[in-house]
Amino acid sequence: MQPGLVIVNYGKNMLVEDATGKLHRCVARRGLEQIVCGDRVDWQTTTTGAGVVEAIAERHSVLLRADGNRAARPLAANIDQIVIVIAPEPAPDEFLIDKYTVTAELAHTELLIAVNKSDLLNSATQYTIEPRIADYRNIGYPVLMTSALLQTGMEALTASLTGKTSILMGQSGVGKSSLINRLLPDLDVAVGKLSEASGMGKHTTTTTTLYHLPHGGALIDSPGVRDFHLEQIPAGELADGFREFRASLGECRFNNCQHMSEPGCAVAAAAENGTISRRRLQSYRQLHVTHARNHQHDQ
């Protein structure tokens, strides 16, 4: 039995990296929960280059997303940091960003916002994008300006990724792929090795995959996060996903306050006096309604 790291899972087969960096095509022993990219596992060889995963090590974080039936499915495990990539064009979708921030908080991972395509910033776009990211700066999330095209801000981004396992999230068109290509100059070589080891050809790039960064740390690339849906979160836990609410939680008149329209709500009062963003409270309420509706539908 030896330890390994799951680099990519294709369903029935997966690629497990051993301590020397060699890839092995493995299957999971029956009865194990779903194994995902980033999982640490115990496995043993059956024939040369092939093996069986016998156990999954405890995860320190797991990124969940809802499938078509709104059931929560693990997407990747043992992530240290979620990097939200936004850009001046297409205009940032704050509701989507808020869903990502909630995911990071509830998964207990760090969060970083990268404003890519910063070469497109001019006085007009700067005027529109700054207020959009101000909410996140005020909450305490770090914001970096990057340009994959001009390679500006890449040193700061590389430094933020070093020594951590990170995943990039963002809506289509923000330049996520361009950033990944800058961060992983040998990406084609890595993809080639995965294709060869898996015997599955080039469609390996459509599956959640872990790549080692040249300066240390790892980057998980997941095409699945483009159409991201929050997994079903119990109503009482949703507010914990908004870190700026925490000082007010427990201060409401009613213990079971949902922070919707109840009298004596401390969160609503904090939004009124400007301590927290009214727009973020609106996002919370929108998510709360959506989750409540889905919960009723599932009953």
pLDDT at residue 115, as a whole number: 93
pLDDT tens track for 136-165: 999 999 999 998 888 889 999 999 999 999
Domain final position from 11, 26, 56: 56
Q: In terms of domains, do 44 and 91 share one?
A: no
Q: In terms of domains, do 20 and 119 share one?
A: no
pLDDT exceeds cutoff 90 at 46: no
Domain that residue 25 falls in: 2-56
What is the domain count for the chain?
A: 3
Which helix (H) or strand (E) segment is 97 a member of?
A: helix 94-106
Structure tokens at 44: 């043993």
Q: In terms of domains, do 51 and 67 share one?
A: no
CATH of the domain at 199: 3.40.50.300
CB 110 within 8 A of CB 104: yes
Q: In terms of domains, do 37 and 121 share one?
A: no
In a domain, 81, yes or no: yes
CATH of the domain at 47: 2.40.50.140
In a domain, 33, yes or no: yes
Q: Which residue has the higher pLDDT, 92 or 248?
A: 248
Q: In terms of domains, do 67 and 130 share one?
A: yes
Backbone angles phi, psi at 2, to 5 degrees: -140, 155
Tell me which of 16-25, 145-154, 284-293 is least confident: 284-293
Q: In terms of domains, do 162 and 288 share one?
A: no
CB 242 within 8 A of CB 138: no
Q: In terms of domains, do 158 and 86 share one?
A: yes
- Residue 53 pairs in a beta bridge with 28, 43
pLDDT tens track for 169-207: 888 889 888 999 999 988 787 888 888 887 766 555 578
pLDDT at residue 122, as a whole number: 74
In a domain, 254, yes or no: yes
Q: In terms of domains, do 92 and 183 share one?
A: yes
Q: With bands split at pLDDT 50, 70 and 90, how would you rate the model's confidence at 229?
A: low
Angle, nearest 10°, between helix axes 154-161 and 176-183?
Answer: 80
CATH of the domain at 287: 1.10.40.50
Average pLDDT over the chain reads: 87
pLDDT at residue 148, as a whole number: 86
pLDDT at residue 167, as a whole number: 94
Q: With bands split at pLDDT 50, 70 and 90, how would you rate the model's confidence at 109?
A: very high
Domain final position from 172, 198, 225: 225
Q: How far apart are CA 40 and CA 60, in angstroms?
A: 10
pLDDT at residue 17, as a whole number: 95
In a domain, 21, yes or no: yes
Domain final position from 175, 196, 225: 225
pLDDT at residue 12, as a whole number: 83
Structure tokens at 98: 């808020």
pLDDT at residue 63, as a whole number: 87
